[in-house]
Structure 1
Amino acid sequence: MLVPSFHTFKKFLVHFLLVLLFQNIGIFSANLSTFRSLFTRMSQLQLSALPNKVVKNASVESCAAGCVKETDFECKSFDYDNAIRECHLHNNTHEDLVAILKVAPNVDHYRSAFQKLFNRLPNQVVTISHNRNVPRVSVEECARRCVFEMQFHCRGFDYEQDRKNCWLTDDTPQSSGGVLMRHGVDYYEKRNDGPLSKYVCYGFGSLPPMEGYQIYNKVMLGVTLDACAQLCTAETSFQCASFDYMFTTQACHMSQYVAANVRGMDTNMTPQYRVMHYEKKEKFLEYFYATPYAVVLGHNKKTYHRVTPNRCARNCLEQKEFVCRSFDYQIQEGTCLLSTKTGSDVGGLYYQGLAQVHHFEMKPFLDCGGVLTSESGNFASPNWPRNYAHHLNCSWQIRVPRYKVILFTFVHFDLGRQTRNPCDDANDKLVIEELTTHGLVRFCAALHLGGYVSQANNVTMQFVTNAQHDAQGFRITYKSDWPCHALLIEDNGEFASPGWPAQYPANSDCLWTIHAPHDARVHLRFTSIDLEPHGVGHCSERYDAIEVYDGDSPVAPVLKRFCGSEVAQSVTSSYNILLIKFTSDSRVERTGFHATYMFVYRLTTTTTTTKAPTTTAKAREDYSHIQASSDLIQKALTAMFFEPAPEYPDGNIFSTKPYTVLSATTTTYIVNVKHDDIDGTGNGVDKTNNYYNNGVFIKTMWILVVSLLVLLILVVLVLALVCRYYRRRIPKRRNVPNFPFTEENLSLYEKKNAVDVESEDHDCLDTVVSEPDFDLVLDPDIAFSNPLYEQRYPNSVEDNDASHLSHG
C-alpha cells in the first residue's frame, strides 16, 4: 500500500481548511457570488514577471478559483490570455516593485480585490487588543491576510495609514461594545449576510435631536445589534429607515428619518458615549458599495440638490448621458454628485475626516444569464459598469404573467466595433428571441436600439462574445404591461388598458382583435371601467372612450360604447370576431379598464327517431304529457339564457338552439330527441302544450297555495302550545328597581335588602316593569349598625327613624 508523503498530506489539509474558510466567511453571498468578483480586471495589460503556474484551456472564473485555492504558493494576481484561453498565476502584484504592467493585446491582468469584502469606517478602531499585527502592507494585502487567516476567525482589522500597519482581530463592534475614535486609523469590518447586510454603517454618531420633532418612533432595550437590525426590518407600525444602537445600554432607537432628513449626524459626543448609526439600504442603494467619509475629488459630471441617498442612487442607475459608476453624497445639504470615475480610476479616494460626505461605488453585475420572473427588473453584461470579458455565452430568460408583454429599455448599449450585419460571427452580439402567435421572432440588437416591446410574455436574450475585442456592454431595464395592440386567439383570456390598474398614458390609440373559431361567438365582460368623466349625454369622441365593434374593423357595427366610470357590463358578438378600440386624449388620465372574454360555442344537435309503444290510448296520452313537459322546459331554458342570432352575410344563420360554453379540456355534447307524432295528426305537440298550460300549471299552483296555508297554520299552533307550556312552568317575573348604588352613601345592608315589588304578568311575551317605590323602608328590627359608618354619617340613623315614623 502506498503511503502519502507529508507534502501531499499538507496540501490536502490546507485545501480542506480553505474550503472551511470560504464557507465560514460567506464568500458566496448575494453580492459576491463568484471567485471572479474577488479580482479587478485591467484590460490589455500583462505582468512583466514570469508566472508561477500556467493553466491551459481555462475560463476566467476557473482561473480566479485556481488562484484563490492555490496552496503551493501565495497567488496574488493572474494574467488571462483571451486568444488561447490560457491562465498565468503570479505570487506578486505590480505594487511589489519586482514587476510592472506592460501593454499586451488580448491579455487581461486581474489583481485581487479582497478589500470589497470589508466595510470601512475612517478614524475609528474596534479594539485596542488585537490578535495579530502585520507591518508594512497595503490595505488590499491586509484584507487578504484577514480572509486567509487560519489560526483564529478574523472578523476585521484596524489599519494605520501612515505606518501601513495591519492589526487583525476577531472582535466586532457588538463584542467590543462599539467603536472608538482614533485619528489616523481606519476600521475595516467584514461584510456579512445577516440582518446588518441590509444597512449602511456610518460608524460613530447618532441622529441629532430636533426641537418640536420626535426623532425616534420606537425604542427597544436589551437587544443585540443583529436583533436591532431585524426589528427595524420587520417593523410595520411605521417605515423604519434607520436606527441608532447604544452599546452601553443595548438600546435600539428606531426612526423613520435618515441623517439627510435632519441635516446630518451628531458626532459631537464624548468617546465614552458608545453609539453607532445605521441606515437601511433602499431598493436602489442595494446596487452600490458604501465608503463613508470619502469622495472622488474633482470628477463629478452632474449634480442634484435636495435628494435622498436612495434617489441619488436611482439617478445614477438611470443616467443615459454617460455611464455613471459612482456618486458622492453630502448628507447635511442633500447634495448628489454623479461621476464616471471610481477610486481605482483616480488613484484612490480622498478621505474627508469626519466631514459628512460619503462615496458610493456601483457593484459589478456578476450574473451571466438567469431566469427573471418578476414583473420589473434589470440586468447587464457581466462586470458592468466595466468592460465585459471574452468568450462569454450568457442567456437571460424573462417571463411575466400570461397575456402581458415586456417593455425593454436599453439604458446603455455598446458592443464595440460592429459590421453592417449585427449577427455576424465577427461581432459581439445580443440575440433577442421570442415565440409569438405569428411564429418565431429572432434578431440581433443593433447599436441604435433604444427599446423593444415584445409580442409575448416570454423573451430570451443571449449574449455572445469572441476573443477579438471587448467594450462597455449593456444595461437593460424591463417591466411588464398590458399590450396596446394584440390579436387574441386563445379561449378564456383577458386584457386591459396599458398601465392598468395604474393610469393609462395620454394620446393612446389601442386595438384588440378577439378571433374565435368559426362556429363560436365571443362573450366579452368588462370587470372595471374608469375613464375620463364625460358631461351629460352620450359618449363623445373628444374624450377617452372604449368602442366595441361587431367585426374585425372599425367600419363594423358598434355594439357598445363606454366612457367615464361604469359598472361591469357584458357584450356578445354576432360572429366569431370582436374588435375593441380604446382612445385617450391629452387632458385627463384615469386607471382605464380591465376585461375578460370567452368563446361561446353553438349546440351540436342530432336527430333520432323513437318509436312510440303501441299500447292503449291512456298510455299514449301520458306519453304526450311527458314529451310536452320536456319540450316546454327546453324552450324556457333557451329563452332565458340565449337569444336568436342574426344572419351571417353569407346567409348562414346561428341556430336558435341553446349555446354552451366549452372549456379547453372538456367537450359537452347535448342531444335533442325528436319523437314521432303519436296521434298521427301532426298537432300532438300543440295539443299537449295547451293541455299542459291549462291543466297541469293550474293544478300545480293550487297545490302550492294550499301547502303554504297548511304550513302557516301548523306554525301558529306550535307557537301557541310552546307559549302556554312555558307560561305555566316559569314563575312570574319581578320588577327590580335599578338603584345607582355607590360606596359612599349606601350601606351594605341597603344594597342587599332593597325591596322588590311584584307585578302581575298577564302576557308571556311582554313584561311591564314599574317604577320603583321609594316609600318603602327597611325593617327596624334588623337594621344594619356600623360604628364607623355612624361616625362618618352621624345623621343617618335619625333620618331613618324619622322616615319610619313619617311613613308609619
Structure 2
Amino acid sequence: MPELQLSTQPSRILQNSSTETCARTCVEEVNFDCRSFDMDNLHRTCFLYNTSYEDGQAYLQESAHVDHYRSAFEKLFNRLPNHVITVSHKRKVPEVSVEQCARRCVFEMSFRCKGFDYEPQHRNCWLTDLSVETSGAGVKYHKGADFFERILDGPLASFVNYGSGSLPLLDGYQIYHKVMFGLTLGACAQLCLTQTSFECASFDFSFSDKSCHMSEYIAANLNGLNHDVMPTYKIMHYEKKGKYLDFFYPTPYTIVLGRNDKTFERVSPDRCARNCLEEREFVCRSFDYQIKNGTCLLSSTTGSDVGRLYYQGQAQAHHFEMKPFLNCGGVLTKQTGAFASPNWPRDYEHNLNCTWHVRVPKYKVITFDFIHFNLGPRSSNPCDPVNDRLIISEMAPHGPVKFCATSPMTSYVSHSNEVTLQLVTTNSLDAPGFSVFYTGDWPCNALLTEDHGQIASPSWPLQYPPLLDCTWTLQAPLDARVTLQFSAIDLDGQGFGRCTDLYDVIKIYDGDSPASELLGMLCGHDPTTSYTSRHNVLLVKMKTDAHIQRTGFHATYTFVYSSTTTTTPATSNVIPSTTSATHNEKYKVTSLTAQFVEPAHDVKRDWGFSTPLPGSNATRFPLPGGEDGGEYAGPDLSHTKEVSEAFVRTMWALVISLVLLLLLLFVILLLVCRHYRKRVPKRRNIPNYTFTEEDLSLYEKDT
C-alpha cells in the first residue's frame, strides 16, 4: 500500500534495510508476532508491528516515501464461497477476520490444519485437520459460510475446485470418456493429468462410491454445471488449469460488480486468462468468467479495490485475480515464458536490483514482447543513475550489446541465445514496471560465422508464419568454403524442380547478395540436398506468401578448409600390381585432402559413362585392374532407344494400375459409409458450441 503508514508505535526498527530484508525479518521474528511492517524508502528504515489495521486498534495514515505491507496468509488457501466441509471441526476461533483465521490455521501447533470454514456475518473461524480428499464426503452447499482449502503440492493443485455439482448429461451424447471406481480424489486427478487416450479437461468425483468420471469437456462447453444432484451422491466438479489460468487465484461464484473494462464472447477460461495477461490498453488485474455463454470480462480492479467480491449464488459466474509476480530475477531456460517486475500488476518497490538470465537452445534467438513498460519519469539519458532503468545486455556474434530500454518499449529480438535483463530502481518515483513474454525461435535474419551450425525456418518443426522474407548469410573465413546440407524441406509449391516465385520458395546464392550466382531453388517437398560455395560466403533466402504454411526447412552447415599437399602425377595415382604379397595391398592410392576438382568442360557425361571427343581416335580407356595394363572398351549404346521406350511403357502401366486401385478403394469406402450411415442414428444434443478463440497472438505456437 503506497504512501501509507500504520498509526501506532512499532515493535522493532531496522536501519539501513531493504524491503526484502524487512519482509524476511518480519517472517523470521521470534520475540513477537509480526503482523505487518512499514518501509521508509527515503531513509531505508523498516518498522515492524505486532498488529494490523484489520484488528481495529490502528489505522492507516498518509505518509510520503513510506509503504505499508501486511501479511497475506489468506492467499495460501483456495476460497469456495457458500460451501462448508462436511466433517466435524477441530477448533473454533471466534471474532477474527479471514486473514487472522488463515494465520491461525498456518501456525496451528496442536494439529496439522488443512483448511477452515469461515462465517463472515458472525466472524467465526472453524479449523479442521481434514481436506476435501481425506474427509470422505467432500463439501456441501451452505449459504452464509465459506470454505478455505489449503493449497498443497500434488495433482489437485493443477485443478480448479468448483464445489458440489457435475457436468450435465445430454441424451444420446457421451459426456464422460472414462469412468473408474475405487479411487481416491488425488488418484482421480492424477489419472486425468496422465490420460493419453483423450484430452482430459475435467472430472467429477463421487464420494459415495469413490468413482472418477473423466471428460474432455468443461462446464462452459455444456452450458454450465448441474447442481441438482442428489445429496447422497456427494459429487464435486474439478477443471484442469491451463498454463495461463495458473497465473490467477480462482474464487468461484463471485464477481467484481460493475467494474469491467473489456468483454470477449465465447472463449474458454484459459483463453480469458490469456487475454488478461496480454491486454495492452490497460493493466488487467482480474477477470470474471460467465460459464453459461462463455463471456470473459476483464477488469483493472480486484475485490480489495472495490471493498469486496459479490456472491452470485449458483449463477456460475466466477472471479479470477492475477497472482503478483514475486521473483526479483532468476534463470529462465524454457523456450517460452513470462516474467514481470516484482509486485506486478501493482507498482514495484524502491531500491530493487533484479537480474533475469534468459537462455534458450543454441542457434536460436529470443523474442521479447513487452505487454507493458512504464518505469516512470526519466531524464534524457535512459541510463542515468537517477532513473529507474532496465538494462538489456548480451554477447552478439559481432560483439557485446548493452543498452537501457526506453519507453515505449514494445519488443526486442536478440542476436544470440542468451540475454540478461537487469532492473535497477531508486528510492523514489515508483511506477507500474513491465510485463513481458518471451519465446525462443529460429532467427529469420542472421549472420552466421561460427562453424558447424544450424538454420531453420521460424517455428520449425511447426508451421512457419505467412509473408516471411528471411535471409541467412553463412560466412566462413577467407581460406574456407561453406557446405550447406538440407535435412528437411516442406514448403508450399510443386517442387521437383518446378519452383517459381508464386509459391513459398528457398533460394541459395553463391555469394553475399541475391546478385550472386543462383545455386539452387527449392519448394514443395523437394528431396534433401547439399550445396557448396566457391568462395567463403553462402546466402540463403526464404520468401512465403499469405496462403498455405507448412513446416518449412532445417539445414546444417560446415566450413571446409582448403589444404596444400604434394602429390604424385595423375598418371601414377593408381598403380596396378600383380605381384603383391597380399590382396589388401593390390592397389596403392594417393589422394588430396578436402580438395574439390571440377569436371572437364569438354567431356560429355551421359548415364555415367565417358565418350570420346568428336574426331578423337581414343576409343578405349585404361582399366585399373586389368592384366598388363588391360583396356576397357567404351559402352555400347546401340540399344539406348529400346531401353528408354521399355522404361516408359512400364511406368505408364504402373500409373494406370495405381489409378484403378484408388478408384476401387474409393468405391468400397463409399459403400461402407452408406451402410453404417443407415444403421447408426443421428446424435442430438451435442455440446452447445466450441470456443472461437478469436484474437490470437504470436504465442499460439508455445510448445
Q: Shorter-chain TM-score: what band?
A: 0.7 to 0.9
**1:127, distance to aligned residue in structure 2 (A):** 3.7
Which residue of structure 2 lines up, in the alignment, with residue 149 of structure 1? 108
Is 1:501 aligned with 2:455? no
Q: Deviations over 1:287-324 (max 9, x none)?
A: 01000111000100111111111111111111111111
Asked whether the equivalents of residues 515 and 576 of structure 1 are also in contact (C-alpha less than 8 Å), the reply is yes
**1:581, distance to aligned residue in structure 2 (A):** 2.0
Distance 2:498 2:133 in 1: 70
What are the residue-to-residue correspondences of 1:44-443 with 2, within 5 Å?
Answer: 44-127=3-86, 129-176=88-135, 177-443=137-403
Asked whether the equivalents of residues 265 and 296 of structure 2 are also in contact (C-alpha less than 8 Å), the reply is yes
Q: Deviations over 1:539-582 (max 9, x none)?
A: 33343322222222222222222233210111111112212222
Is 1:634 aligned with 2:594? no
**1:645, distance to aligned residue in structure 2 (A):** 8.7
Asked whether the equivalents of residues 202 and 237 of structure 2 are also in contact (C-alpha less than 8 Å), the reply is yes
**1:200, distance to aligned residue in structure 2 (A):** 0.6
Which TM-score applies when normalising by structure 2? 0.81
Describe the SS at the equivalent of 1:230: helix
Gaps of 5+ in 2: 570-576, 602-620, 633-703
**1:249, distance to aligned residue in structure 2 (A):** 1.3
Greater alpha carbon shift after TM alignment, 235-244 vs 63-72 = 63-72
Greater alpha carbon shift after TM alignment, 292-301 vs 517-526 = 517-526
Describe the SS at the equivalent of 1:598: strand
**1:128, distance to aligned residue in structure 2 (A):** 5.5
Distance 1:53 1:439 in 2: 51
**1:45, distance to aligned residue in structure 2 (A):** 0.6
Q: Deviations over 1:193-230 (max 9, x none)?
A: 12111111111111111111111111121111111111
**1:256, distance to aligned residue in structure 2 (A):** 1.2
Distance 2:567 2:229 in 1: 97
Distance 1:535 1:566 in 2: 5
Distance 2:600 2:41 in 1: 72
Asked whether the equivalents of residues 115 and 130 of structure 2 are also in contact (C-alpha less than 8 Å), the reply is yes
**1:499, distance to aligned residue in structure 2 (A):** 2.6
Gaps of 5+ in 1: 1-41, 610-619, 648-688, 701-808
Aligned residue type for 1:209: L
Distance 2:322 2:463 in 1: 33
**1:74, distance to aligned residue in structure 2 (A):** 2.3
Q: Deviations over 1:412-444 (max 9, x none)?
A: 111111111111101111101011111101001
Greater alpha carbon shift after TM alignment, 527-536 vs 250-259 = 527-536
Which residue of structure 1 lines up, in the alignment, with residue 492 of structure 2? 532
Distance 2:600 2:273 in 1: 62
Asked whether the equivalents of residues 127 and 171 of structure 1 are also in contact (C-alpha less than 8 Å), the reply is no
Q: Deviations over 1:746-798 (max 9, x none)?
A: xxxxxxxxxxxxxxxxxxxxxxxxxxxxxxxxxxxxxxxxxxxxxxxxxxxxx
Aligned residue type for 2:166: S
Distance 1:621 1:274 in 2: 94
Asked whether the equivalents of residues 574 and 646 of structure 1 are also in contact (C-alpha less than 8 Å), the reply is no
Structure with more of its chain in strand, by fraction: 2
Q: Deviations over 1:309-354 (max 9, x none)?
A: 1111111111111111101111122111110001111111111122
Structure with bigger RCO (C-alpha 8 Å, 6+ apart): 2
Which residue of structure 2 lines up, in the alignment, with residue 669 of structure 1? none
**Larger Cα-atom Rg:** 1
Q: Deviations over 1:167-191 (max 9, x none)?
A: 1121222333222332211111111
Aligned residue type for 1:509: D
Asked whether the equivalents of residues 386 and 472 of structure 1 are also in contact (C-alpha less than 8 Å), the reply is yes
**1:355, distance to aligned residue in structure 2 (A):** 2.0
Distance 2:540 2:226 in 1: 61
Distance 1:262 1:586 in 2: 36
Describe the SS at the equivalent of 2:116: strand
**1:282, distance to aligned residue in structure 2 (A):** 1.2
Asked whether the equivalents of residues 181 and 271 of structure 1 are also in contact (C-alpha less than 8 Å), the reply is no
Counterparts in 2 of 1:526 and 1:231: CA distance versus 1, 3 Å = same
Q: Deviations over 1:501-539 (max 9, x none)?
A: 233333332222212222222111122222231599853
Distance 2:543 2:404 in 1: 33
Counterparts in 2 of 1:587 and 1:692: CA distance versus 1, 3 Å = closer
**1:411, distance to aligned residue in structure 2 (A):** 0.6
Structure with more of its chain in helix, by fraction: 1
Asked whether the equivalents of residues 482 and 498 of structure 1 are also in contact (C-alpha less than 8 Å), the reply is yes
Q: 1:644 aligns with which of 591, 598, 601?
A: 598
Which residue of structure 1 lines up, in the alignment, with residue 636 of structure 2? none
Distance 1:121 1:691 in 2: 90
Counterparts in 2 of 1:500 and 1:129: CA distance versus 1, 3 Å = closer
Asked whether the equivalents of residues 623 and 629 of structure 2 are also in contact (C-alpha less than 8 Å), the reply is no
Asked whether the equivalents of residues 622 and 629 of structure 2 are also in contact (C-alpha less than 8 Å), the reply is no
Which residue of structure 1 lines up, in the alignment, with residue 627 of structure 2? 695
Asked whether the equivalents of residues 629 and 692 of structure 1 are also in contact (C-alpha less than 8 Å), the reply is no
Counterparts in 2 of 1:433 and 1:241: CA distance versus 1, 3 Å = same
Q: 1:552 aligns with which of 507, 512, 515?
A: 512
**1:500, distance to aligned residue in structure 2 (A):** 2.3
Distance 1:645 1:105 in 2: 84
Which residue of structure 1 lines up, in the alignment, with residue 660 of structure 2? none
Asked whether the equivalents of residues 106 and 469 of structure 1 are also in contact (C-alpha less than 8 Å), the reply is no
Aligned residues: CA RMSD: 2.8
What are the residue-to-residue correspondences of 1:388-787 with 2, within 5 Å?
Answer: 388-534=348-494, 538-606=498-566, 633-634=589-590, 642-644=596-598, 694-695=626-627
Counterparts in 2 of 1:579 and 1:51: CA distance versus 1, 3 Å = same
Which TM-score applies when normalising by structure 1? 0.71
Which residue of structure 1 lines up, in the alignment, with residue 701 of structure 2? none
Asked whether the equivalents of residues 289 and 360 of structure 1 are also in contact (C-alpha less than 8 Å), the reply is yes
Asked whether the equivalents of residues 574 and 645 of structure 1 are also in contact (C-alpha less than 8 Å), the reply is no
Asked whether the equivalents of residues 495 and 523 of structure 2 are also in contact (C-alpha less than 8 Å), the reply is no
Greater alpha carbon shift after TM alignment, 65-74 vs 370-379 = 65-74
Distance 1:570 1:77 in 2: 68
Distance 1:172 1:561 in 2: 65
Distance 2:329 2:561 in 1: 44
Greater alpha carbon shift after TM alignment, 357-366 vs 119-128 = 119-128
